[in-house]
Amino acid sequence: MRFEVLTLFPEMLTGVFESSIIGRANQAGLISVACTDIRSFTKDKHRRVDDTPYGGGYGMVMQCQPVVDCIRAVKASLTGSTRVIYMSPQGRLFDNKVVKELASYDNLVLLCGHYEGIDERIIELEVDEELSVGNYVLTGGELAAAIVVDAVARTVEGVLPANECFEDESLEGGLLEYPQYTRPRVFEGLEVPEVLLGGNHALIAKWRAERSLERTVKKRPDLLKKDTEDEK
């Protein structure tokens, strides 16, 4: 699967995509994550990519020409199914169900806006969907795009060390993850639950299932009320 992030600030994301599990998966060729600098597509002699809004008001609006040209150039380099997504507080809320839906595409093109937004005609012409990672406003779409890349990439076969990893984790099956412990057995007087030290795998599985249910009831009762298909 290929991820193409279009941004005026690629340096905000290169470190994120070179690190940890996503960095390793990209190196190994399991996924391809690339950032394209929208500014490199400007035809303006001063390399401008934004201008003041028609009708007045504060801030700057990203212009059609560099953004549309950038999207089209990147799309022309792709084969297979592609979805063009604009990261925006006005978008559909991103959740685990959306992750699975997006993972079915060969390519995701993630457009990041800055300033007070982008010219509406860019969305009309080239964007398939607006997506929001939560009900808050960021200074730009870059951090939101990083969340989408990370969450979708980890579902790609081979990206996580073992395939059962993401099947077993929080929200799969609509429950939160059970508590985890590692050495030492006692830390500042707090002991690891006895059952985990015993090696009785049936008993451990039962204990973990109970703790998952218990903490879901306590921390996220909304997950239990919802249609379970919503989280899958």
Binding site for ligand 4G3 (CB under 6 A): 87-89, 113, 117-118, 132-134, 136-138, 140-141, 144
Task: Provide the CA 13 distance to its chain's centre, in angstroms.
Answer: 12
Residue 53's CB is within 10 A of a number of other CB atoms, namely 15
Closest to ligand 4G3 by CB, 78 or 138: 138
From the CB of 86, what's the least distance to ligand 4G3, in Å?
Answer: 7
From the CB of 140, what's the least distance to ligand 4G3, in Å?
Answer: 5
From the CB of 123, what's the least distance to ligand 4G3, in Å?
Answer: 9
Closest to ligand 4G3 by CB, 131 or 176: 131
From the CB of 117, what's the least distance to ligand 4G3, in Å?
Answer: 3
Closest to ligand 4G3 by CB, 25 or 35: 35
Residue 181: strand pairing partners = none
Strands of the chain (E only): list them: 2-7, 32-37, 50-51, 61-62, 82-93, 107-112, 129-132, 186-187, 190-191
3-state secondary structure of 118: strand
From the CB of 150, what's the least distance to ligand 4G3, in Å?
Answer: 14
From the CB of 147, what's the least distance to ligand 4G3, in Å?
Answer: 8
Query: Residue 181 corresponds to which tokens in the numbers above?
Result: 């412990």
Buried b / exposed e along 60-79 (16+ C-beta atoms within 10 A): ebbbbebbbebbeebeeeee
Closest to ligand 4G3 by CB, 57 or 189: 57
Closest to ligand 4G3 by CB, 112 or 176: 112
Q: Say if residues 208 and 170 touch (Cβ distance below 8 Å).
A: no
Closest to ligand 4G3 by CB, 135 or 180: 135
SS (H, E, C) 25-37: HHHCCCCEEEEEE
* Calpha distance 44→39 (Å, rounded): 10
